[in-house]
Each structure stands twice: as C-alpha cells, then as structure tokens.
Amino acid sequence: MFAARSLGDRMRIVHTVPHVCKEASGPSYSVSRLCEELGAKYHRVRLLTIDERARRDAQNYRHDVFGSSHILSRLGISRALETSLARQAKRADVIHNHGLWMMPNVYPGEAAKNSGTPLIISPRGTFSPVALARSRGVKKTFWWLKQRAAVEQAKCLHATCEQEYHDIRAFGLKQPVAVIPNGVDVPVLEHRSKAPRQRTLLFLGRIHPIKGLSDLLEAWSALADRHPEWKLVIVGSDPVGHEAELRRQAERLSLPRVTFAGPLYRVAKHQAYLDADVYVLPSTTENFGHTVAEALARAVPVVTTTGTPWGPVVGHNCGWCVEPGANELIKGLGQAMNASDEQRLEMGAKGRAWMQDAFSWAAVADQMAHTYAWAAGLMSPPDCLRVN
C-alpha cells in the first residue's frame, strides 16, 4: 500500500462511463464501487454519465448526470457532458474512461489531448471477439471516424483479466496495460444450515445466448432424474427476449424443477446466493463474470467454463471449470452435485477466503491508485502494469 501525495492534497480523478443504472450489475456496479473506494481512501473523484436512470446514492465521490440528444441516441451524444469534461480535465490529474463505442467514450480522448491530462481507458470487454462481432460494420466505421483517435490518447489501458489483456493486444494496441480485476464486496454471512433440504443450482445474470443457458438446460435434462433432490433456478433480466426460447426448450425437454425467477436486486439477489448450494456460469465467453466473484464471496462453490476467466477456481479448490457445451457441463455439474454437503461448504469457504485476499475493493483501489500515480508521473510503474 502507499499513500497519496498527502491527505490534504489528494489527486483529482475524473471518471466517464455512459451508463450507471440502478440495476447493480456489470459496470453499473464495478465503476460506481471503484469510485466509492477511491474516494474513501485516496482521491477526489468525479463520475460523469448520461444515464437518466443513474443511481443517485453516490458516496465518497461526486456523480454528475447529463442529458443526451435524442438524435442518434444510441451514440449518447451529450454536449453538456462534453463541455463539463473539457472543463474538469483542465483541473484533473487523471481521466479514466470506461467502455467504448459511444460518444461519452470519445469525449475523454478529446479532453485529454486538449488539456494534457493523462487518460486511462478500461474497455470493459469491448475488444473481445464476440463483442467486436456485434454490429461489426458500425463499429469499424465508428473506430475510424471517432474512437481510434480517442484510444490513441490513452497513456494506459486497463484489463480486468488475462484474457482481456490478450484481446487488447490482439486488436493491435501497444500502450501499457494494467491488469487489475474488478473487486467484490464480501458480506458478513450467517451460519449456513446443513439440514436436509432440496438443493439449489443457481444461475444469476443476463438471460442472453452468450451465457450458455441452452447448454445448461441440455445438461439439466441429463442430470435432473439422477438428482431428484436438486432444483435449477435461473435468475436474471431478459434484455433480448431469450427467455421465451429457453422456456420453449425446457417444455420440449419436459424438464422438471426449473424456475425462471426473473431479475432480482440487492437484498433479494443476496438471498438467492445464500439459498444456493452451487452457482453455475456456463458462458461461451465472458470478460470478467462478476457473478462468479459474488457467489464465491458468499461461500458458494461454482461450476463455470473456460470461456470465462475463472479457471483458477480449480487451483483454489472452490469450483469446477469445463469447456463450454452441454456434454462438458454434465461432467462438471455432476461432480458438483455428487459432492457431499461438507465438501461443498469447505470449497465455498476457500472461495470466500480467496475473494477476501485478492478481490477486495481495498486491494483493487490500491492497485488502481498506484496506476493513476504512475500515469501522473508521481510514482514508478505498479507491478500490475504490462508494457510488452
């Protein structure tokens, strides 16, 4: 750990991200939580967004929300945000942008160039092959017209995992990359009962084809009759209408004990984890997979795939990791469901300890603050920085 210049002379950090909505997931959670921790421990932090649904309960940092133009609203054009950022950049020590492909992700490059303030960019998974394939033509055009010039202003990029680091390099970007994971809150837990009851296999996340839920239902069709004491609960919002397709699949396969619970937030979401005996994330691709960290922080062992960056669950003895696909899921889930309650509780405890040690927001803020200090020319490079 290190101290900022002094408690009375803290650095000014301006963060930008298009959306930080009330649904506490993905960047909505991680960006806000990073700002909170940095504001509490180190710096004067300001977050600029255009999301009118943005959370207004900011703690330890200032959160400014700007309106955007209804013309080409998908681009998030906001002259108010652009003007405010240009003004804030002149007084800031570092600008930190989160995400790509919208105008609020372009304005930071322009502000950094005009002010001379160092810029850090967190792509937040936008350089993954799957993400780049979506609207490929639009993104290619936007890259050459707007986004490329903004990214070229970055002194450093931030990757949340090894795979994202490789995606950044595969895209051809040469700047240094700080590999710093997202953090996770590790809540106080009540004692978990070992009393006989129906066991719960939980999925929690967006209901989207990349999450591998069709494979999960196929796997469940092979496992459900072997494990009548287990039920499958699928929790999440349905942004692309994928749930209807999954319900038809479940009906076609005559799957027993499957519940589509819809989205859950805050206390209800926390309780869903506590009620689970195993958490499953069967994604074909995943930038970070924050729900794995959330499950482990609540002492729930996990089954996931090599499409996520969570292969280390095996080495930490807190879960199983298999190749994407129904056949491999059958193997991984079968091992998890065949384990004893005591084995699963022990694995969950190891996962929780891992989250406390390596993924606490305090540890993440330490690394990010050191990266800011390096970018501002105040410290030597942090250990998390890759220059090759």
Q: What is the CA 374 to chain-centroid distance, rounded?
A: 24
Q: In whole numbers, what is the pLDDT of the chain averaged over residues?
A: 91
| pLDDT-derived band at 151, boundaries 50, 70, 90 | very high
HSE-up of residue 212 (Cα within 13 Å, Cβ side) = 28
Q: Where in the chain is the domain with CATH 3.40.50.2000?
A: 12-183+360-386, 199-358
Residue range 11-33: average pLDDT?
A: 80
Rounded to whole angstroms, the maximal C-alpha distance in the chain is: 65
The pLDDT value recorded for residue 24 is: 46
Kindly report which listed range (70-74, 180-184, 307-311) carries the lowest average pLDDT score: 70-74
| pLDDT-derived band at 67, boundaries 50, 70, 90 | confident
The pLDDT value recorded for residue 251 is: 97
Amino acid at 29: Y
How far apart are alpha carbons 164 and 101 in whole angstroms? 17
The pLDDT value recorded for residue 73 is: 72
Percentage of the chain exceeding pLDDT 70: 93
> 3-state class of 273 per DSSP?
helix
Indicate whether 194 pLDDT > 80: no
pTM of the shown model: 0.85
Percentage of the chain exceeding pLDDT 90: 78
Q: Which fold has domain 12-183+360-386?
A: Rossmann fold (3.40.50)
Angle between helices 213-223 and 326-338 (to 10 degrees): 50
The pLDDT value recorded for residue 130 is: 86
Q: Which two tokens stand for residue 272?
A: 């869903």
Residue range 107-134: average pLDDT?
A: 95
The pLDDT value recorded for residue 192 is: 63
CATH architecture group of domain 199-358: 3-Layer(aba) Sandwich (3.40)
> 3-state class of 148 per DSSP?
helix
| pLDDT-derived band at 291, boundaries 50, 70, 90 | very high
Backbone angles phi, psi at 288, to 5 degrees: -135, -45
Indicate whether 61 pLDDT > 70: yes
Write out pLDDT tens, residues 241-267: 999 999 999 999 999 999 999 999 889
Bridge partners (DSSP) listed for residue 46: 14, 62
How far apart are alpha carbons 25 and 21 in whole angstroms? 9
